[in-house]
A and B are shown apart, each in its own frame.
Chain A
Amino acid sequence: MSNDLSEVHDFIRVIPPFDTLSEEQISRLTRNIYIQYVASNSSLPPEGDQKAVLYFIRKGALAYFGNDNELLSKYGEGDLCSVFLLPDENVKISVVTEEDTLLYCIDREALLEVITESEEAEAFFAQTAAQRLKKRMEKFSDDAVVSSTLMNTQVEHVYHTPAATIDMKLNIQQTAQQMTEQGYSCLVVTRQGEMVGIVTDKDIRTRCVGEGLDPLMPVSDIMSRDVLTLDTNDSAYDALIVMTSRNIHHLPVTSNGRLAGMVTVTDLMNHEGNNAVNISSLVAKANKISELTEISKMLPKLQIRMSKLGTTSDHVGKSISAITMAFTVRLITMAENLLGPAPVPYAWLAAGSQARLEQFAHSDQDNAMIISDKLQPQDAYWYQDLATFVCDGLAACGFIYCPGDIMATNSKWRQTQSVWHKYFHKWVVNPSPQALLNSSVFFDLTTVHGDASLLNEVRDKMLEKTKNNSLFIAHLSRNALAHRPPLGFFRGFVLVENGDNEKVLDLKHNGIAPIVDLARIYALQEGVAAVNTLARLQAVAGTPSLTKSMARSLIDAFEFLGYLRLSHQARLLSAGKKPDNYLPPKTISRLEQEHLKDVFKVIKTLQNNRQVAY
């Protein structure tokens, strides 16, 4: 009677990795469990317990302490204590009960007997934080390949509307012209508004041009008549299956039997890129700020869709950043039309997350301007006017003004090339921690518009100075260590270093920013010009700054944080709320919490390495 021990059984079956086991396996585990009660303020393992035991905390709390009695972590109901399962000789952890604690215990042998049957469960206990993260991220890419997230996305969110239609009486030449004008490779052929077929550019090539058919013949001669359709409620995955099995690239979408739009293979596979490109092309065509404002409202929706399609945060960041650049370029062009041509060459620069191509919807603008040294004082107003126009325009499009005033409207950040040279010289050669704190955003710069050589020259000179400049790197490292990841989670709260509990996890400052900071330091130390965090980490992997495996771990950690941030923001955006970076631990699964703890460990290890080095 397996459900006789239902209370214990039900308790452990929801705890990762045991949630991957079958009921029968859980039952076998349960029968080998013993229950112990440990008084508050006692050390674990309890007297008489053999060393290799896994503990489930049924009630109560455990605190972990490292060397020098430093609080490492706290665990509560439903958490596992695996410290004594595979004791790590290198790490001295002492575990103390903070309250009277009821433990479900299982000896290593009895545990292994069952978990060795499950690869996932076995790996959970066998691996280090970095290894578990790697496995998790590998699974991500597998999922992306299988497109399992397409199953959770309805065609409704993927197709574009309206489907372009053409009346069946029109001829092939007119069809080709319409395709070219509208930029579609596929049209729905109608008779009195009813769909009767579908025609693609391939049909024109193979059935008309290839066959020598008169282009003045009606389009109905070359159209396909047996048209498969999808309903808006079908999943995007259904669409993918139909298309790949029939080797077709276009599917009309109907809603309540009426033609609603068209979904293409490109829509599905490169949905994110496609949308970004579409939005960018709309931006390029806009003539008024009010039009740009309208288009900018699509950005949050784009982010939700990309998130639902399982797009990585790297891709989302690149797409959103590209669109922001498109907005900026369009605004600059409008300004130039208004103000006349630039008196001397200049470049519009993006700083921070936009420069790193890691921008999400609703982020603030960080920008600057670099102007040729040929600038005459009487021409300075032109650049000021341009900056005002562009920054106001960006603000109208939802990119709020930078709270730290890092914008081209600030004369400090709208300077000639020689002044920028001086800025970097001062930051790098005579660094002061405070100045560096305020200027770190300028070590992530990219040219959005204008003469790229202006920035490139400044950057090249700067990198020469940063490379192996230990004083500068030391100051930068000290600042980077200001953002520490939390210790973990305890009873649904975020446990921070001093033992306090926070309600939410600040994904940006306590996870993403520390990795961005580390990547910047490595890049500057190694003289790497890349600004994108992943590109930086890839570029420095295997250099004295960072081993290949450490780089891999940081990349996995960064991508996992990006994924959490993306899904968190998608939840908020879908609910019509403003996206933020404050993740309440309760909204993610216990397994995701486990992975986050692994992320924290990876970041902490590398931060500690910096601390030791400097």
Chain B
Amino acid sequence: MWPFFESFLSAEQQRKRALRRVPEGALKEYLSVPFPDKNATISELTLLSVDFETTGLNAMTHQLLSIGSIEIDGGKIKLASSCHNIIKTKGKLEANNVVVHQITDSEKEQGIELKTAVDQLLLALAGKVMLVHYAKIERQFLRQVCFELYGVRPPLMMIDTLLLAKKRLDIGGQHYDPSIFRLESLRQSFQLPSYHAHNALNDAIATSELFLAEINKYKQGVKTKIRQLLCSV
């Protein structure tokens, strides 16, 4: 059996196992829908590009500030599917983070409850591949917050644009400066426009555009099978 197929099985198996334990709610609905076939191509699938803004890098101690998401449907980024939620987190925001995320305390106060935002994301994510830039953050935060809300850490099927770029450059055997893997740097290397507003939605869109540029490097373009793109869990 191919190693890719094996990891597919494990994700599906994890999903089925988690489904048995999960209480009623959005997470259950997420887990009820099978993951897509790994032999399916980008042009056949709908991906959900997701970006989180957080107060820090540690999912155990830091908080989710906002969630942005947008669908890539058959290789087209559909703005109509865009979703941007600011979360009403507890406590004051640190000044440093305000600078980075441009989310102020007053905006945060008008935000929605964490559970509402996460549930909305889970429903949108059901049966889809999740596209992110630097999977670690989104994976840890989403799994942790699901654990806190539902007692279950769900499996996620993910494509990471950072990993795709890393793979591409590693193949060339070049030495590189790690900062080239920042979303903005990679976009620049593809001559994609610079975006000025850094919020979760814009970054989710920026990631999707980078993804389309990245798979354009593959021989089959949008006809590339996702098994070639998924990050191993």
Contacts and interface: CB of A to CB of B under 8 A. Distances in A.
Interface of A: 1, 4-8, 30-37, 39, 48, 58-59, 77, 99-100, 102, 105
Given A35-B76, A36-B76, A37-B213, A7 B205 contact: yes
A32 B205 contact: no
Given A5-B82, A59-B191, A36 B216 contact: no
Contacts of B195: 7
A35 B77 contact: yes
B170 to A, nearest CB: 22
A34 B78 contact: yes
B197 interface: yes
A35 B209 contact: yes
B: contact size bracket: 20 to 34
Contacts of A33: 79
Contacts of B57: none
B80 interface: yes
Interface string B58-93: 000000000000000111111110101000000000
23 contacts: A4-B82, A6-B202, A7-B195, A7-B205, A8-B79, A30-B79, A31-B82, A32-B79, A33-B79, A34-B73, A34-B77, A34-B78, A34-B79, A35-B77, A35-B209, A36-B76, A36-B77, A37-B212, A37-B213, A58-B193, A77-B193, A99-B191, A100-B216
Interface string B165-201: 0000000000000000000000000111101110101
Given A59-B191, A100-B216, A5 B76 contact: no
Majority DSSP secondary structure for residues of B touching A: mixed
A35 B193 contact: no
B190 A100 contact: yes
A38 to B, nearest CB: 8
A34 B76 contact: yes
A35 B197 contact: no
B208 interface: yes
B24 to A, nearest CB: 30
Contacts of A102: 192-193, 209, 213
A7 B84 CA distance: 14
A6 B75 CA distance: 22
Contact of A4 (B78, B80, B84): B84
Contacts of B36: none
A36 B221 CA distance: 12
A7 B202 contact: yes
A59 B221 CA distance: 19
B96 to A, nearest CB: 23
Residue in A8, A30, A37, A59 with the greatest tally of chain B CB atoms within 10 Å: A37
A31 B201 CA distance: 13
Contacts of B77: 34-36
Contacts of A105: 76
B228 to A, nearest CB: 18
Nearest to A110: B80
Contacts of A31: 79-80, 82
B224 interface: no
B14 interface: no
A167 B172 CA distance: 94
A39 B79 contact: no
A497 B202 CA distance: 40
